[in-house]
């Protein structure tokens, strides 16, 4: 019973005196009724239990009077007591105590007497139960002792009690003592009673749960929805509209939580008040409470503007149900559904108007159209009506029918919106993928992961199977059912088929040949293994065969074979692994079965130079095959790590000295795959592999050249590597490779290497000498995007030097670069914007860019979803504004441009923020533009950013603030927005550039006295004093100016005080 009282019963929140009161709700009433019935019927059902004496009396204020007590009671002073007393301490079983003149409290010691009390109370008995439960929140504990108190969570007291009893029974059985016996009896009774109480508790909970679940809490949104619909259905036409009006009552203010009721009423759960005027009755005032809709007492005449909030009648779950009860007319209308949807008409009218406007010059036509439209509408309305009728049969609640009308529409548009949103998401993802692709490109060569989703292709019918199929089937039969000799003959014959042909490959698989071939690998027959591997090596070029081999567990066996003594066998196994490990799962399998270690072991062969004996030749072959397999495996990150741990790097370095191309290609291929890992890049540099890579750039084999260039591309992220490339003379062959315009892969690798190498200024020098710019500009046309990204990246790096910028212009590179700004490849856009930005540093270049409308294109890229593109576009805009003629006018001419750039200050990316701040600093040079961006709220947005710790952002932010101070009362505004104190902290930064721009900003801000005070409080003077001593004149001046302003304020202050 305790649980039900604690959880289900509704207590008033304000606790008057000793405890809370039970609210007067239906739920509580039901609970009380049930408790009462239980108590009343208890004595009859369980006479013994009902006589059990409570541990402590249940006491409560009662409405009983001494005169009510009849039979078996005697007076004792002012109190009445029962003649029956408890057997233990002789306290009376019932005591009626006089507390005050007309107040009595009753104490009861057993359920029997509870029952008596109820009987005596007559029709007041419900009040007695209520009083009892209010005074004793946990009756169980009082009745049976504290051990049965209701507790949160698991309550296993009853089980412990049972244990105790059984123990005692056992004990008493041993002792056969009389006293123990009675004790046990009593405990048994207690247990029974407790079980009864528990059962009651459960019943109560169940019942209340049923009630609670049937109550749905209202929310402001649902109320709004319902009122909206009713509003659409209301009007003055009695035949068509079901309500005259339906309005919110009150001043119409909507709070942030969606409620319209006054805050103090919201405490009671009120959401809003609705004033409904049905056609047949008076105005109904409805309270929308979180517990449901109910009628209140209407406008309070005594207090104008207030309602009498007292609840009248029941709560309803829907406003419509309430109204149906109140207004028979409404109910009738709703059931008949003879009403028109006002909103629809409204919409129609609107549309007609719009159309009329559009086709204003052709009235005749428009009228026709509108008529058509009306007809159309009418038919649809008819349809709607039909629909409604069919639905009426299905659904009984009118509120649901609404959904068929207004709600459905409303929801559909919602859905549409969602669909649109969903559509947008993938498109964004798509646009993002190129960047990912670029990342993966720089990380690992473009291995098609589509391989993962290779589609099964199989001829549907057996009718047109080629003859090879049947021959292969026959051979597989011999493989299965022959001894070693037959197997070898069959294997050799199978090799006579064209195994590069897909029909043969799939035929082998389809007739179950793969299983046999893989099983052969597990035998002891070396010749069979060799023969099988020779076939597997060939057919594993097929994607589906690879998967099948992996599925059949072939990789595990092949990895085992790598330990074999026979070198031919090792070679073949490694080559087959190289073919199979082209997809991720296979690579993982190889790693998990220790294949990487074994493959690295294969690399360890005798020195490659010097006299070659046939034996050594075979060792070299083994190493080559190992490198081939590692190349395939090195596409997975974990494999790279495993290779490094297995000591692959020094072995690869040694093999790189080889002169054989067929050895070098897999080795360099592996290296360039692994170079995506910084640890490998370091090792490649320190093991002296750059020299060999450069040497092989001059190789005659384009594939080898490609892999070398690609390896350098990846390694040249580091400065030392770039220097080494130059020192070994690698820049010349790289530039020479630019002439290979047919081989796009090679071109992409070479241009990538040039791009990365050009990051070092010494390299730029060399590229200048080699006239790389002309060649690169030539590659800006008709190249695939992979090449373009690198070419433009290289130009961007090279354009950091002034002569190169001129050279690009002279070579005619500006216009293709600007044209590329219209592209969609994100990686390309990042590089193009960078390059254009660099070029714009030159006045003459800027003229061309301006003529080609490049700034507008850059500006439009600010709208790109990719933050990298946004940032690099914003960076590029800075020099454009600096160097363009009439920059202010140009910027203003971009419609919505200034608003756009200010709105980017909301970005979450530091780089975007820094770049936009820099751009704003430039824009703010023009006073008119400064005025516009001030109107767009640049000041608070900048101020909001001031708490950053990023030095780059700080520098440009301070610069932007300094510039923005020059308009109106922006200085004051910055002070008000709390931008000053954080700026002072910037002076503690270690970056000189931050100091300079911050000092400038502080100088500007210090022109307003309030700011001076804030600065001074923030301790600005000391760091500024130091900066006055700086060697940077700019910084000196700004710092001194700021101190000057602060000092002047102080002097003026003193003067004012003394005068």
| Residues making contact with other proteins (CB under 8 A) | 474, 477-478, 481-486, 488-493, 495-496, 524, 526-527, 530-531, 565-566
Report the 3 state secondary structure along 336-375. HCCCCCHHHHHHHHHHHHHHHHHCCCCHHHHHHHHHHHHH
Q: How far is the CB of 868 from other proteins (least distance, A)?
A: 58
Nearer to other proteins, 534 or 971 (CB): 534
Q: At its nearest, how many Å lie between other proteins and the CB of residue 472?
A: 13
Distance of closest approach, residue 647 Cβ to other proteins, in angstroms: 23
Kindly give the interhelix angle for 938-945 and 910-923, rounded to the nearest 10 degrees. 140
- Rounded to the nearest 10 degrees, what angle do helices 111-121 and 26-45 cross at? 120
For CA atoms 186, 189, 191, 194, give the dihedral sign: negative
Q: How far is the CB of 606 from other proteins (least distance, A)?
A: 14
CB nearer other proteins, residue 527 or residue 584: 527
CA dist., res. 594 & res. 746, Å (int): 34
**What does the block give as tokens for 682?**
């370091």
Q: Which is nearer to other proteins, 511 or 987 (CB)?
A: 511
Give the integer Cα–Cα distance in Å for 223 and 815.
61
Dist CA 648 CA 659 (whole Å): 19
Question: 227 near 248, Cβ under 8 Å?
Answer: yes
Q: How far is the CB of 728 from other proteins (least distance, A)?
A: 41
- Shortest distance (Å) from residue 512 CB to other proteins: 15
Decide whether 361 or 524 has the Cβ nearer to other proteins.
524
Q: Which is nearer to other proteins, 529 or 995 (CB)?
A: 529
Minimal distance, residue 535 CB to other proteins, in Å: 11
Q: Which is nearer to other proteins, 531 or 793 (CB)?
A: 531
Phi–psi pair at 295, nearest 5 degrees: -80, 135
Interior/surface letters 511-529, b for 16+ CB within 10 angstroms, e for the rest: bebbbbbbbbbeeeeebbb
Nearer to other proteins, 331 or 569 (CB): 569
* Least Cβ distance, residue 480 to other proteins (angstroms): 9
Q: Which is nearer to other proteins, 533 or 918 (CB)?
A: 533
Q: Which is nearer to other proteins, 491 or 939 (CB)?
A: 491
Shortest Cβ distance from residue 485 to other proteins (Å)?
5
Measure the CA–CA gap between 167 and 187, rounded to whole angstroms.
12
Q: Which is nearer to other proteins, 532 or 540 (CB)?
A: 532
Strand order in the sheet with 243-249: 243-249, 270-278, 284-289, 292-296, 311-316
593 to 554, 598, 603: CA distances (angstroms): 12, 10, 18
Minimum CB separation of residue 531 from other proteins in Å reads 5
Distance CA 717, CA 732 (A): 19
* Closest CB 628 distance from other proteins, rounded Å: 22
Distances (CA, A) of 1058 to 511, 1045, 1046, 1047, 1048: 110, 20, 19, 17, 15
* 674 CB burial (10 A radius; 0-12, 13-18, 19+): buried
Shortest distance (Å) from residue 497 CB to other proteins:
12
Which lies closer to other proteins via its Cβ, residue 450 or residue 524?
524
Task: Please provide the distance, in angstroms rounded to a whole number, between the alpha carbons at the two ends of the chain.
Answer: 83
* Distance between CA atoms of residues 759 and 764, nearest Å: 8
* 557, 518 contact by CB (below 8 A): yes
Task: Tell me the two tokens of residue 615.
Answer: 């034996």
- Given phi > 0 = left and psi -120 to 50 = alpha, else beta, which region is 255? beta
Q: Which is nearer to other proteins, 487 or 826 (CB)?
A: 487
Smallest separation, CB 494 to other proteins (Å): 10
Across 573-686, where does the E strand assignment appear? Answer: none
Nearer to other proteins, 527 or 936 (CB): 527
**CA 14 to CA 21: how far, in whole Å?**
8
The tokens for 259 are: 């409620």
Q: Toward other proteins, which CB reaches closer, 461 or 483?
A: 483
- Alpha carbon distance 22, 11 (integer Å): 5
Q: Residue 566 Cβ, how far from other proteins at the closest point, in Å?
A: 7
In whole angstroms, what is the distance from residue 987 CA to residue 247 CA? 60
């Amino acid at each position: 019973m305790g649980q039900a009282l604690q959880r289900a019963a509704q207590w008033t929140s304000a606790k008057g005196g000793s405890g809370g009161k039970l609210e007067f709700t239906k739920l509580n009433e039901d609970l009380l009724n049930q408790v009462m019935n239980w108590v009343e019927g208890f004595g009859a059902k369980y006479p013994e239990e009902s006589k059990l004496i409570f541990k402590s009396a249940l006491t409560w204020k009662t409405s009983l009077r001494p005169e009510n007590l009849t039979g078996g009671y005697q007076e004792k002073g002012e109190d009445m007591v029962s003649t029956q007393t408890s057997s233990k301490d002789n306290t009376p079983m019932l005591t009626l105590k006089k507390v005050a003149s007309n107040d009595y409290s009753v104490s009861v010691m057993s359920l029997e007497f509870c029952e008596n009390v109820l009987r005596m109370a007559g029709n007041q008995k419900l009040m007695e139960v209520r009083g009892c439960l209010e005074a004793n929140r946990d009756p169980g504990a009082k009745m049976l002792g504290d051990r049965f108190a209701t507790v949160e969570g698991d309550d296993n007291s009853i089980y412990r009690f049972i244990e105790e009893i059984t123990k005692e029974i056992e004990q008493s059985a041993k002792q056969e003592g009389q006293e123990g016996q009675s004790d046990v009896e009593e405990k048994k009774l207690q247990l029974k009673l407790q079980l009864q109480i528990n059962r009651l508790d459960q019943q109560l909970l169940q019942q209340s749960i049923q009630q609670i679940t049937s109550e749905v809490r209202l929310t402001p949104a649902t109320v709004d929805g319902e009122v909206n619909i009713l509003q659409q259905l209301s009007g003055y036409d009695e035949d068509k509209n079901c309500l005259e009006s339906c309005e919110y009552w009150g001043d119409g203010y909507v709070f942030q939580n969606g409620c319209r009721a006054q805050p103090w009423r919201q405490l009671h759960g009120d959401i809003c008040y609705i004033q409904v005027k049905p056609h047949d009755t008076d105005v109904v005032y409805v309270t929308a409470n979180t517990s449901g809709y109910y009628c209140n007492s209407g406008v309070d005449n005594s207090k104008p503007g207030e309602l009498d909030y007292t609840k009248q009648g029941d709560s309803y779950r829907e406003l419509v149900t309430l109204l149906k009860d109140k207004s028979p007319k409404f109910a009738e209308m709703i059931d008949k559904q003879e009403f028109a949807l006002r909103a629809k008409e409204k919409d129609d009218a609107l549309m007609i108007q719009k159309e009329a406007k559009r086709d204003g010059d052709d009235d005749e036509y428009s009228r026709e159209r509108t008529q058509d439209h009306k007809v159309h509408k009418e038919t649809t309305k008819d349809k709607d009506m039909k629909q409604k009728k069919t639905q009426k049969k299905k659904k009984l609640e009118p509120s649901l029918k609404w959904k068929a009308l207004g709600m459905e529409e409303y929801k559909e548009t919602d859905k549409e919106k969602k669909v649109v949103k969903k559509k947008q998401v993938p498109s964004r993802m798509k646009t993002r993928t190129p960047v990912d692709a670029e990342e993966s490109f720089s990380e690992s060569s473009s291995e098609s992961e589509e391989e993962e989703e290779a589609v099964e292709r199989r001829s549907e019918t057996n009718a047109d199977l080629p003859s090879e199929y049947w021959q292969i089937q026959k051979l597989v039969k011999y493989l299965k059912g022959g001894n070693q000799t037959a197997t070898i003959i069959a294997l050799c014959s199978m090799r006579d088929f064209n195994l590069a042909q897909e029909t043969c490959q799939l035929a082998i698989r389809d007739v179950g040949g793969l299983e046999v071939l893989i099983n052969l690998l597990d035998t002891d027959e070396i010749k069979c293994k060799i023969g099988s591997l020779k076939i597997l090596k060939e057919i594993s070029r097929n994607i589906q065969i690879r998967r099948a081999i992996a599925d059949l567990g072939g990789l595990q066996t092949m990895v085992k074979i790598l330990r074999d003594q026979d070198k031919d066998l090792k070679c073949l196994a490694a080559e087959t692994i190289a073919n199979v490990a082209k997809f991720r799962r296979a690579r993982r399998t190889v790693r998990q079965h220790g294949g990487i270690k074994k493959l690295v072991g294969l690399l360890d062969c005798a020195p490659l130079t010097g006299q070659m004996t046939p034996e050594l030749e075979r060792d070299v072959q083994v190493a080559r095959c190992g490198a081939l397999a590692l190349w395939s495996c090195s596409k997975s990150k974990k494999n790279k790590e495993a290779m490094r741990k297995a000591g692959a790097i020094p072995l690869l370095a040694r093999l790189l000295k080889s002169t054989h191309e067929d050895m070098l290609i897999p080795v360099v291929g592996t290296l360039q795959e692994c170079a995506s890992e910084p640890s490998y890049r370091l090792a490649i540099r320190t093991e002296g592999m750059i020299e060999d890579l450069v040497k092989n750039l001059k190789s005659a084999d384009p594939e080898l050249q490609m892999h070398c260039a690609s390896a350098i591309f990846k390694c040249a992220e580091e400065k030392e590597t770039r220097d080494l490339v130059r020192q070994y003379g690698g820049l010349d062959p790289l530039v020479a490779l630019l002439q290979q315009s047919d081989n796009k892969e090679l071109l992409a690798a070479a241009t990538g290497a040039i791009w990365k190498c050009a990051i070092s200024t010494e390299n730029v020098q060399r590229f200048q000498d080699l006239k790389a710019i002309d060649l690169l500009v030539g590659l800006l046309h008709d190249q695939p995007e992979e090449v373009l990204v690198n070419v433009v990246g290289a130009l961007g790096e090279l354009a950091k030097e002034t002569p190169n910028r001129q050279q690009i212009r002279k070579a005619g590179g500006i216009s293709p670069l600007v044209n590329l700004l219209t592209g969609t490849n994100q990686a390309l856009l990042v590089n193009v914007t960078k390059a254009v930005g660099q070029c714009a540093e030159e006045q003459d270049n800027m003229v061309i860019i301006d003529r080609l409308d490049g700034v507008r294109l850059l500006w439009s890229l600010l709208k790109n979803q990719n933050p990298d593109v946004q940032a690099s576009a914003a960076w590029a805009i800075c020099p454009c504004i600096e160097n363009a003629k009439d920059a202010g006018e140009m910027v203003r001419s971009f419609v919505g441009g200034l608003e756009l750039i200010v709105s980017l200050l909301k970005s979450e990316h530091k780089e975007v923020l820094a770049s936009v701040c820099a751009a704003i600093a430039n824009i703010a040079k023009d006073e008119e533009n400064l005025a516009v961006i001030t109107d767009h709220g640049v000041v608070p947005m900048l101020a909001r950013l001031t708490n950053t710790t990023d030095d780059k952002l700080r520098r440009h932010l301070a610069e932007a603030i300094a510039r923005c101070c020059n308009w109106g009362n922006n200085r004051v505004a910055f002070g008000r927005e709390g931008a000053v104190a954080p700026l002072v902290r910037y002076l503690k930064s270690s970056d000189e550039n931050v100091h300079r721009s911050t000092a400038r900003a502080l100088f500007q801000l210090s022109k307003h006295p309030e700011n001076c005070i804030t600065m001074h409080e923030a301790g600005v003077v000391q760091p500024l004093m130091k900066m006055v001593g700086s060697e940077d004149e700019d910084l000196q001046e700004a710092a001194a100016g700021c101190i000057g302003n602060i000092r002047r304020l102080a002097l003026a202050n003193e003067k004012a005080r003394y005068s």
